Chains A and B, each alone.
Chain A
């Protein structure tokens, strides 16, 4: 068999998910109005609206971080949660590439779990490592909204955001192969997909 024939066969073995996605139509970037049942979903919906997203793009973080904040807005995702992804987008997934960070762009649902799976794959991390929880804290004013009878955090420029990521402890077994600082930095950058500029990041282990 000629080598180009072998290459044709090799292409046939490419991951079926990628093959399936190749012909899928990309969804629009505008917010999709679906029933949100958690504050995390509401936050994502708010930031999908272009005008709000533009406002946040102009956000300038304070010079100094502080832990002395009244955290009134919280959004949380937990492992096993059966959430509905509101939108798909081109997500930058960062990985350790020698002594630096590189990234690829994947068309993914805007939801921590699928993004985390791609992050693991890019960093050569196995299935045993789990994303346990993602929690966003902010000092946003929380108001009651008629929208599904839920509380919605309304954000404005100048708000302070903290991203808390909880991983399974066994991630540490990869530190001998991957630089710990770079690896965790790649995770923080990857999970900042929702266009928020975070003032603080906390990585916790369970």
Chain B
């Protein structure tokens, strides 16, 4: 079943939409959640929460590419779960390492933020990533959006792990300089 047909099921409030979503995108969403959480049970729960969120979002949304829509939901839910786990001092996955890497990119001047500042930061990061050379961008997104391990990124691109680490380091430096310049 193609994405258009699955989205139509959601809009028709036909529960077959969830079954079709699970068949087509269950593994994909699970891989995102597992990468963030490092725990199968937690990842399973996140995927189920993704289906519920998707059911509540469509209508009105009508995404043309369902994988991107669902992937974004799963990522958000998994990161929220990770934060809850962190507060309770449990959980694994790549997220701790990723956060540690990103710590150097942005000054932790204060612990409050506004919705406007969050939006501005999102726009700045988006523009930065768009302007990256293709390979650097893909490696960056595999690491910091998908939370893929350095090992799996190296395998995917046919690079050594040290090359991946160097590439990520250079990109983070560029991002850090840009964010400092923009006042973040």
Contacts and interface: CB of A to CB of B under 8 A. Distances in A.
Contacts of B117: 6
Contacts of A33: none
Interface stretch (A73-81, A102-110, A136-144, A161-169): A102-110
Report whether over half of chain A's contact residues are helix, strand or loop; otherwise say mixed.
Answer: helix
B126 interface: yes
Contacts of B184: 3
B138 A21 contact: yes
Contacts, number: 105
Interface stretch (A7-15, A34-42, A126-134, A172-180): A7-15
A4 B105 contact: yes
Contact of B126 (A8, A13, A23, A107): A13
Contact of B137 (A9, A20, A22): A22
Interface in B60-113: 65, 67-69, 71-72, 75-76, 79, 83, 98-99, 102-103, 105-109, 111, 113
Interface of B: 65, 67-69, 71-72, 75-76, 79, 83, 98-99, 102-103, 105-109, 111, 113, 117-118, 121-122, 124-126, 129-134, 137-138, 141-142, 144-146, 156, 184
14 contacts: A3-B113, A3-B184, A4-B108, A7-B106, A8-B102, A10-B126, A12-B79, A15-B126, A17-B68, A19-B145, A23-B156, A90-B134, A107-B134, A121-B130
Contacts of B107: 3
Contacts of A2: 108, 111
Interface of A: 1-23, 90, 104-107, 121-122
Contacts of B83: 5
A23 to B, nearest CB: 6
Closest 10 CB pairs of A and B: A16-B68, A22-B141, A13-B122, A10-B122, A22-B138, A3-B106, A10-B125, A10-B121, A4-B103, A3-B108
A9 B79 CA distance: 9
Contact of A20 (B67, B79, B133): B67
Given A6-B113, A7-B106, A18-B141, 18 more contacts: A3-B108, A3-B113, A4-B106, A5-B83, A7-B102, A8-B99, A9-B122, A10-B118, A10-B124, A10-B125, A12-B72, A14-B129, A15-B129, A16-B72, A18-B129, A19-B72, A104-B132, A106-B134
Given A1-B111, A3-B184, A5-B83, A18 B71 contact: no
B53 to A, nearest CB: 14
Contacts of B79: 8-9, 12
A192 B99 CA distance: 41
Contact of B118 (A6, A11, A121): A6
Contacts of B146: 19, 22-23
Contacts of A14: 125-126, 129, 141, 145
Given A22-B145, A23-B146, A7 B121 contact: yes
